[in-house]
Amino acid sequence: MQSYQLPQATLSTLIEGAQLLEEDSHGPKVYRLRDGDFLKIFRRKRLLSSTLWCPYSKSFCKNALRLQQLGIPTLSPIAHYQLEQPGLTAVHYQALPGETLGQLSKSPDFNWQHLLPHLTGLIHRLHESGVYFRSLHLGNIVLTPENELGLIDISDMRFFRRPLSKWMRRRNLDHFNRYLEREGLTDSFPMSSLKKALLDS
């Protein structure tokens, strides 16, 4: 995707009336724009880094395209921007409609009986396609209105030519499990069943 320069005045117009959804100590990170689209701002963390040539924002766009080619639902980038402030880039995109599994799992009457096979199928498909999504967790997996599972927040992802090794699959599930621990979901999520389905086959 081609990059466009986004002057500060144009950025200010773009985010006028927008809802700030996420920020950190460095400033805004994600806006919901007036028309329902999103603007995600990326900051280069170090002066000398590989992200100088390929920022996370470009990986974000490329990964979306690769997932779409694999038939996996994900967000839809509209434009990639280089901002005036050094080290800042941004992506304007359409969100993936639906609710994250993290949101759904916190409903009082929720259980994993029906969704676990779909979740297992999605992760198996990623692993067999050579996709290593380090940020694979319930907060980044969306159940769409079409009852499909898709992915968001996809900048931290690698694509290999071959299916992932058993070691990489296990490592990916370890990341997934750490999210459950942080969110206090280890008692309610059937992690042992997920691991058995994905690692014992």
Q: Tell me the CATH number at 164.
A: 1.10.510.10
Model confidence, pTM:
0.88
At residue 30, what are phi and psi to the nearest 5 degrees? -140, 130
106, 195: one domain: yes
Which of 91, 96, 95 has the alpha carbon at shortest distance from 14? 91
Element (H, E) at 39: strand 38-43
Contact 112/143 with Cβ under 8 angstroms? no
Dump pLDDT digits (tens) for 97-131: 999 999 999 888 888 989 999 999 999 999 999 99
Return the C-alpha torsion angle 130, 132, 138, 139, nearest 10. Answer: -130
Q: Is the pLDDT of residue 53 over 70?
A: no
Q: What is the CATH number of the domain that holds 69?
A: 3.30.200.20
d(CA 6, CA 14): 10
Which of 59, 74, 94 is the last residue in one of the domains?
94
Same domain (yes/no): 104, 69: no
Residue range of the domain that includes 34: 3-94
Neighbours of 44 (CB within 10 A): 16
Confidence of residue 54 (pLDDT cuts 50, 70, 90): low
Give the torsion through C-alpha atoms of 12, 15, 17, 23, to 10 deg: -110
Helix (H, G, I), strand (E, B) or coil at 99: strand
Q: Which of 117, 108, 93, 107 is nearest to 30 (CA)?
A: 93
CA 64 to chain CA centroid, Å, is: 9
Residues 110 and 143 in one domain: yes
pLDDT at 86 over 70: yes
Total tally of structural domains belonging to the chain: 2
| 129-165 pLDDT per residue, tens | 999 999 999 999 999 999 999 999 998 899 999 999 9
